[in-house]
Structure formats: structure tokens, C-alpha cells
Structure 1
Amino acid sequence: MTTQEIVQKLWNLCNVLRDDGITFHQYVTELTYILFLKMMKETEQESQIPEGYRWDDLVEKKGTELKNFYRKLLVDLGQEGRGSVKLIYANAYTNIEEPKNLEKIIRSIDGLDWYSAREEGLGALYEGLLEKNASEKKSGAGQYFTPRPLINVMVRLIDPKPGEKCNDPAAGTFGFMIAADRHVRKKTDDYFDLKPVEAEFQRKQAFTGCELVQDAHRLALMNAMLHGIEGEIILGDTLSTKGKELRDYDVVLTNPPFGTKKGGERPTRDDLTFPSSNKQLNFLQHIYRSLHNKGGARAAVVLPDNVLFQDGDGQKVRADLMDKCGLHTILRLPTGIFYAQGVKTNVLFFIRGTTDRGNTKEVWFYDLRTNMPSLGKRNPLTEEHFAGFEKAYLAEDRSKVEDERWSCLTREQIRAKGDNLDQGLIADEKYSSYDNLPDPIESAEEAIAKLEQATALLYEVVKELKEAEEGQA
């Protein structure tokens, strides 16, 4: 049985819990609590779990006794467990009300082909489950998950090396750091080419992260554990004072959350030069500040289009980035590759300078968005889609690359455009002829309809506010 088949079997168990009103996202969290115990047994690591709370103790119980024992297990492991066990079960609780549903899930997991799962790697199995969860729109988990082909390309081009400190300040399920670990392992014969002390550094210190959401944090912890990574994953907000401690990295790979801070407030950190209600601008400042300035520190970060063109704070942050770092490449990503549909995104690649001024000389753009086939669940993103970009990125002389999608602007040209980095898009074939232009009457009518809808909603809000005021009078 392949990993994919096992993942599908695990995912199908979600249907068992629908009667208990459990969502897709809650299901993966519930599954993590149970799978962890089974995987500790399969990997012979049960010594990390207190006696009496191990897999065989769970399997032997039935009915109401099982339900009560499971609830007690979650609380006790969160309070009495050691190391990662305690963190994974911190504040854990179950939404499963029906004992027979809990029993069916445990029996089904126990009956899976664990020999095949061990052969293919339990880490791969768990990552497959996280990817399945992210691809389900109803789960809402896509915000914590970056498509694996994109992660692999970013890691390959940033090329983390043995002995380097790598970090993801918006860790999600820890996908970037797991891919970075895999990249270094591949180049060092699974760390056997390294000295024992170097191999221990890779396992325990090389790959770290920070994640704000507790459920995502516990998924990240389990994902790291199953891949043999023991680096610290902090539960906390990078944009709070805690983030000031995250610094002196060789490599940062990340995809920060999209949007603004709730209520539009600014971050609680006092060390950002241009604090903004736009979270991505704050994350971008954190990232280039967290790289050391001894030479060679580098980052690749996924950011939405608004970071490239936003005025005010946005323009100041971009200018600061181009001063402190050599911003050398911007990849304009295709639409539809993230589970948050319609978001237009990019990858910025930059190297921290040894000084704080004048580090960007020119910026190369690669347009992987315009005139691309529609990507999504039926036509997923693959690493082959990036072949042209990788060839251009790695070219010894970038100016000799013959690819219409590849273009360059000097720092002076960008400055003349008001430091606007929303550049490098080629002509869209859809609008290359007059016949393909949208009908102006239809466009105007559509705009009017949207404005009328927005006006109606505003009237509703005003009406509700007036009624609330009258009720208080």
C-alpha cells in the first residue's frame, strides 16, 4: 500500500466524524492526537510517553470507558508529558462525543499497513495528510500550507548548506524547514558525510520556526518530529516583542499570512522602522532584519502584489529593503496555486548586504503569471512549471538568457518609478487584439451592479446601528 493510499484511507475516516459535527480542520487535529501515539509505537519512541497512556492502552478500551480515558489522556499528556509531547498536547481537547466513532477511528488506524508506511517514511505520510487537508477548501487550512512544488524550487535556489541557521518566522506546518532539511541531507548522504557534532547541529539547531496559531503549531511539531528535526518551533507572534529574538540567520524561507492585523492596529514590536497595519510589510521588515550582515545571508519570501506597489509605508519598506539587501530577483507567480483563491503572489529573493546602503543594483523579473494555463485542483502546479525560471535564475550571465518572460530594471529605473516593483509582466494575449477586449458596456454595468450591492450593504449596516442605538435609549 502506497503513502497516497494510506492518506486517502485516513482522510475517508473524516466521514465517520461528520455526525459529531467535526470540521475538516478539527479532524486533522483530532487525527494528530491519535496518530502521534501510534507513530511513537511504530518508531519505537514510546519511552517519551508516560506509561499507561500509550497506544496499546488506548486500543484495549471500548465504549464510554474509552471516551473517558481518551479525554483524560489528552489533559494529562498536555500537563505531564515531556518535551515535544507536552507541546503537541498543550490545551488539547476532543470534539468527539460518540464513543463508537472514536473506537472506529482507533481500530481503523491500528489496522493500516504500517509496514508500508514505515518503508515510505512516516513523515511523508503525515505531510501527505496535511496537503490533503490544505487542498480541501472547506477545511480552511490552506493558509498554513504552501504548495510543495513551490517550496522545493525556493529551497533549491536558496541552497541551504550544512552549518547554516535556517528559520521560518511564519512556520505554518513547517514545510519550508522540512524541505530545507531534506535538501541538505541529499547533499551530505543523509548527514553521514558530516562529523558527528555537525550532524547533531543539523538535527537540533539548523532548522527553527515561529507559529502563532496553536493548532498549526502542534501540526508543525509533529511534522518536525516525524522528519527527525529537533530545532525549536516557538508558539508565538513574530510581530510581537518575541520576534526581536529571532535574528542572525543565514537563511530565511517563508510565506507569511496575508491580510492586515485585526482592527488595523500596528505591531507591538518597537524595533521596526516603518510599523504598518499591513502584516506582510511588517514581516518583510522582520525578515531582512533577521538576516546577519556578515555576508551571504539570504532569503526567499512569498508576498502578495500589494507589497510591490503600496504607497506610503510600502514605498519606504521597499526602499529600505533595496538599501539593506541586494534584491536580485522577483518571480511573479501564477494565480490559482494557493488555496486562498484569487490571491496574486510573488517570490522575492534577496541577499543581506554587509552595509545598510546601496545594495540593490538591478532587479530581474520573471513573469510566470501572464498567458499561463489555469492552475488549480484539476491542473495542479508542478516543479516542471518552474523550469524556465530556474534556468534563467541560475544562468552565469543573466543578460544572455533569451526568454520573453525574463526582464531587468536597474535601481535607478525603479527609483524613477517611485520604487514601484509591480513590474516585469509581459503583454497578455487575451487583450492583444481589439476583439478580445471586454465589452465596455458590460464592464460598466458590472461595476454599477457591484456599487449598488455595496451601497445596499452599507444601508443595512446603518439601519442596524440605528436600531441598536434606539434599543439602548
Structure 2
Amino acid sequence: MITGELKNKIDGLWEIFWTGGLTNPLDVIEQMTYLMFIRDLDDADNLHIKESAMLGLPYESIFAEEVLIGDRRIAGNQLKWSVFHDFPAQKMYSTMQEWVFPFIKNLHGNKESAYAKYMGDAIFKIPTPLMLDKIVTAMDEIYAQMAQLKKADTRGDVYEYLLSKLATAGVNGQFRTPRHIIKMMVELMDPKPDEIICDPACGTSGFLVVASEYLKENKKEEVFFDQKNKEHYMNHMFHGFDMDRTMLRIGAMNMMTHGVENPYIEYRDSLSDQNPDREKYSLILANPPFKGSLDYDIVSQDLLKVAKTKKTELLFLVLFLKMLKPGGRCACIVPDGVLFGSSKAHKAIRKELVEENRLEAVISMPSGVFKPYAGVSTAILIFTKTGHGGTDKVWFYDMKADGFSLDDKRNPINESDIPDIIERFRNRDQETERKRTEQSFFVEKQDIADNEYDLSINKYKEVEYVPVEYPSTQEIMANLHELEMEITKNLAELDEMLEKDVEE
């Protein structure tokens, strides 16, 4: 969570962009992303030099030699942030535009890398030298403030705060999944070092970033002290697809700024034949788009065989099952309508989850979780692809609080069910005796099948009614007579007072 002086400095930097004429939030974040990466390159290079010197290992700085840019040779150290940030505004601007940007665009020799795809059409959009000078100064102050905080996750929090401005600006109707909900889903799934993780509607790569951070914090030795696992983590573990190229660039950079060198972030319509991935992934984490419908013509035919529908929320569920390996797991957010919708397609996909695979949990979330961007009620579905059933009973949880107020302001509050959800999900064997009047409980598969595979928690939750003791009819009538007599007495007294006033 970004607060205090650091938040003010980031807001100030944002203001510089807006007052300078760059008013599209996507453009602002894209340009900030480029500049953060340029600065990080310098910091990372300096760190590598120090580490190599301490360990007595050879290391060649990317800024060490002359660099060929077009037909000109430039001294590499001129491209370092720590050097050019002291240049006069005009010289800094021409250095950035003519040298630094072309340099970072061609930094990776592998044209197939995520970096090359992402940076290939990057454009430097800052319009004036004075504006660039202000931005560079503001960014130096932000980095100094981050260094003072000395918190491991500050870098990621800064980027998350920037991305939150996309949602508040309402760009292209997109809204982000709240970070604390993503973290909860990742903790519930507990990714392993050998996972192949995918988000087929990745946006800014929030799920992939949090999964990478979770592995870094909880499986550090297994991932980074094992050469094979580390290579897998850096190059083959994370896959994300989206149909917005700007979001893809931001998503790819988001991954790279969080330490994943070569994520597979690609432009793709996941629901169409553009997406050939079948039985490829061991873990899918997603909040797919669920407003609107598609033409049958553009939807992959093998998805329509399971559920003939135009609704994206249903098609994505079918897609997840197709993309998962046998034994692969999924945690995804769905609108409440998926849980109880009565159409043939709704029932077909729910039946597929329950009868042909292993549906493990349905976590119902309050409608305020996505405010102020959307007020829709949602749930998290957790399931494992088996292809031959395996659902014996399904665990339901009724989340009532997520640590924030459920109005448009979403202010932090003390009440949160998230720690309880994680604890209970991980120890479901201890949940078997819980009654349906409690906040979490199991429902047998047969009960779900008998209810047309309805997965809404209200279908199964029982409300405990406490009988109310009412007085007898005679007692009520006696009380009414007493009240009537009291009223008559008071009216008589009022009449007397009025008569005296008239006489006087």
C-alpha cells in the first residue's frame, strides 16, 4: 500500500505528465514504464559490477563499450541514467530520443523474446525537454524515497499504484482485479517451482506478477538455488495473453520489473482459433472479461461443443478446462450468474465441472469487492481438471468482508475474512463437521446434482431462526385497554386546559 510522502511524489509525477499534455493514462503509464526500466538498467548494472567484484567473477557491463546506434558510435556510459540525468534539459532530451530509446529497443538480440516483442514498437512520447527534465527529477526523488523505506515490496507497490490509476480513469472499460484478492487466490493455489502458469486474459499481468512474487518469497531456495528451476522461472513458467497491445506492453514490463526476465506475454484472442494451446498448463489464474457476448464465428469450435453460448464468462470456463493439463488446477473469478443461470449452456458447464472434473471450492464474494468500477457480485471457482470426475463434495465459503469498506471509497477496515478463507481451505479435512448455518461448509455432490448443479451458496446455506416469544392475546388486549384509558385521561386533561384558556 502506497501512502504518505511517496504517494504524494507519484501523484506529483502524474501531474507533470497531465499538465504537459499527455492525458491518456495508458500513455502516461507506458512512458513511466520505459523510464523506470531505463533507470533500473543502470541500477542493475551497477549492482552486477559490485557483486562480480566481491565474488571475483567476470562481468561485462552493457554500458562498458562503445554502442552502435544507427551509423553512429556512442560511448556506452553516456546512456546511463546516472550520467545523463545531470545533462542540461535540451541535451538530456536529445540523448534520450536519439540514443537511449534506440539502445533499449535493441537491447535483446533475440527477436522472439518477450522483451523484443514488447519494445519493438515503443515510442518516446514526452513532448518537450523541460517536461522530461521535470520527470527525471521527480523520478529520482521517488527512487530516493523508495530506498529510504527499505521494504522489499515497495517497487511492486509503486507499480501497482500506477496501474490503479488506469482503473480510476476508466480506460477502455477495463478494471483491475484488486491486488489483495489476487494474493488470496495465489495463496490458495500455492504455486510450485515447476508450474506452467497462464492467464488467458492477463491485462497488466497482475496474477502472473503475484504468482512470481509468491514463489520468490515462499519457495526461494527451490526456485533460485536450482539452476533448472531458475531457468524455468525466468523463461518458461509465465504465460499471458490479451487483445490490447498497450496493456500487453505494460503487462510484460510489469513482469520484468518484478524480476522475470523473459515472460511469454503475447497478443492473442484466447477464445478464437488463434489460441492453439490445449492441455499445456498446470495452473490457470484469471479474472476473464464477463460483460458482453461474441459471434459464434470467431469462437473456437471445440469450446462451443461443450457449451453453445455467446457469453464470454462461460466460454472462458470451457477454455480453462481445455488449456489445463490433466491434473492442472484453476482459480478464476466468475459473476454470480454463472453459479445459478438457468440456460442450457450455464447448466452444461456447471455439470462439466462437477461430473467430469473435480470442483473443489466456491468462494462467494460481496458485491462491493470491485467497486468503484463495478458493483457486480462475484465468486471464485477452484477446480482441478481430471477428465473423469472426482468431485465428492464441494467446499463453500461466504465471504462477508475483505478488509475494505464495500462502498465506492473502499477505505481499509479491520474486518477481513481472507486469512480465515486461506486457513480453512488449506485444512478442509477439519471442515467436514461444520453445519450449513456456518460461514463455510461442505455440500455433497449428489445434493448439487439434485439442484441442477446450482453453485450459489444461498441454495445450500441454512439460516438459524431463533423463535420469538410473544405475549398472549389476553395480555396484548389488556395492554391496549390500559393505553386507551391513558389516552382518554390525557385528552380530558387537555380539554380542561383549553377551556381555561378560553375563559381567561
Q: TM-score, normalised by structure 2?
A: 0.73
Structure 1 range deviating more: 11-20 or 54-63 = 54-63
Rate the CA distance shift 1:231–1:4 in 2: closer, same or farther, 3 A. Answer: farther
Alignment-mate amino acid for residue 374 of structure 1: L
Alpha-carbon distance in structure 2 between the residues aligned to 1:427 and 1:199: 48
Structure 1 segment 136-215 matched on structure 2, within 5 A: 137-140=167-170, 143=174, 145-191=176-222, 194-215=225-246
How many Å apart are 1:329 and its aligned residue?
0.8
Rate the CA distance shift 1:77–1:275 in 2: closer, same or farther, 3 A. Answer: farther
When Rg is computed on C-alpha atoms for both structures, the one with the higher figure is: 2
Structure 1 range deviating more: 61-70 or 390-399 = 61-70
Structure 1 segment 70-81 matched on structure 2, within 5 A: 70-71=96-97, 76=102, 80-81=106-107
The one-character-per-residue Cα deviations of 1:26-70 (angstroms, maximum 9, x if unpaired) are: 221221121111111111187399756553675366556655665
Alpha-carbon distance in structure 1 between the residues aligned to 2:185 and 2:272: 27
Alpha-carbon distance in structure 1 between the residues aligned to 2:241 and 2:43: 28
SS in 2 for 1:43: helix
Name 2:383's counterpart in structure 1: 350
How many Å apart are 1:265 and its aligned residue?
5.3
Residues 397 and 421 in structure 2, CA contact (< 8 A), matched pair in contact too: yes
SS in 2 for 1:167: strand
How many Å apart are 1:391 and its aligned residue?
3.5
Rate the CA distance shift 1:72–1:415 in 2: closer, same or farther, 3 A. Answer: farther
Name 2:116's counterpart in structure 1: 86
Q: Cα RMSD (Å) of the superposition?
A: 3.7
How many Å apart are 1:16 and its aligned residue?
1.6
SS in 2 for 1:292: strand
Alpha-carbon distance in structure 1 between the residues aligned to 2:405 and 2:106: 52
SS in 2 for 1:363: strand
Alpha-carbon distance in structure 1 between the residues aligned to 2:97 and 2:90: 11
Alpha-carbon distance in structure 2 between the residues aligned to 1:257 and 1:124: 29
Residues 22 and 28 in structure 2, CA contact (< 8 A), matched pair in contact too: no
How many Å apart are 1:375 and its aligned residue?
5.1
Structure 1 segment 3-18 matched on structure 2, within 5 A: 5-18=5-18
Rate the CA distance shift 1:428–1:138 in 2: closer, same or farther, 3 A. Answer: farther
Of 399, 421, 428, 1:395 maps to 428
How many Å apart are 1:398 and its aligned residue?
2.2
Alpha-carbon distance in structure 2 between the residues aligned to 1:64 and 1:6: 28
How many Å apart are 1:378 and its aligned residue?
4.0
Name 2:369's counterpart in structure 1: 337
Rate the CA distance shift 1:345–1:208 in 2: closer, same or farther, 3 A. Answer: same
Of 431, 435, 446, 1:412 maps to 446
SS in 2 for 1:389: helix
Residues 11 and 129 in structure 1, CA contact (< 8 A), matched pair in contact too: no
Structure 1 range deviating more: 49-58 or 94-103 = 49-58
The one-character-per-residue Cα deviations of 1:440-467 (angstroms, maximum 9, x if unpaired) are: xxxxxxxxxxxxxxxxxxxxxxxxxxxx
Alignment-mate amino acid for residue 37 of structure 2: F
Alpha-carbon distance in structure 2 between the residues aligned to 1:129 and 1:14: 13
Alpha-carbon distance in structure 2 between the residues aligned to 1:3 and 1:224: 23
Runs of 4+ off more than 6 Å: none
How many Å apart are 1:381 and its aligned residue?
7.5
How many Å apart are 1:178 and its aligned residue?
2.5
User: Percent sequence identity over matched residues?
Assistant: 23
SS in 2 for 1:250: strand
Is it true that 1:59 corresponds to 2:93 in the alignment? no
Residues 266 and 275 in structure 1, CA contact (< 8 A), matched pair in contact too: no
How many matched pairs? 425
Name 2:249's counterpart in structure 1: 218
Is it true that 1:424 corresponds to 2:454 in the alignment? no
Of 201, 207, 228, 2:259 maps to 228
Structure 1 range deviating more: 121-130 or 25-34 = 121-130
Name 2:495's counterpart in structure 1: none
Residues 74 and 93 in structure 1, CA contact (< 8 A), matched pair in contact too: no
How many Å apart are 1:74 and its aligned residue?
8.6
Alignment-mate amino acid for residue 355 of structure 2: D
Could you tell me which runs of 5 or more consecutive residues in structure 1 were left unpaired when the two chains were aligned: 434-473
Rate the CA distance shift 1:22–1:96 in 2: closer, same or farther, 3 A. Answer: farther
Is it true that 1:256 corresponds to 2:282 in the alignment? no
Alpha-carbon distance in structure 2 between the residues aligned to 1:226 and 1:383: 32
